[in-house]
Amino acid sequence: MYVLGVLEIVMRVGVILLFPFVAVWAWRAGGGARLWRIVGLAIGLILLLGAFVASAIGGNALTPTYGYAHIAPRVLLLHTLTMALPVAVAAIAVHLLAGRWASRLALYAVGVAAAGLAWVTGVLVAFRIFMASGAVG
């Protein structure tokens, strides 16, 4: 379970700091088609990890008590809002600005800022949803 916790943290940091670099590289290497293929792959891996983490085999202690059908949607929502959303927003920022800006560093910085803001937004939205549903507090 400790390994999964570390993996989750690495992925959350990676989508904010590493994915914008990958997005800039993908755009420069193959244009929009390569960028969006990598975005699809990244989001697919995020959701796959979320489905695994929601399972008892993945170390979720609540799944045996409440069942996978109860836990999985909440875990997938959290993964979508805190990891998939920053990936998509960083990719959109790079896609919109890559044709106008020559500086890879500037594109990376905008991608990191966009992903960071999307992560904060995702955390706040998830908190509001979970509070409204009675899942927290």
Distance separating alpha carbons of residues 101 and 8, to the nearest angstrom: 33
Q: Give the model's confidence band at 3: pLDDT under 50 very low, under 70 low, under 90 confident, else very high.
A: low
Average of pLDDT values for 55-80? Answer: 91
Question: The pTM is what?
Answer: 0.91
The structural domain count of the chain equals 1
For 119-136, b/e burial (b = at least 16 CB within 10 A) is beebeeebeeeeeeeeee
128 falls within a domain: yes
76 falls within a domain: yes
137 falls within a domain: no
Q: What residue numbers bound the domain in which 112 lies?
A: 2-132
How far is C-alpha 62 from the geometric centre of its chain's CA atoms? 23
Cβ-based neighbour number of residue 48 at 10 Å: 11
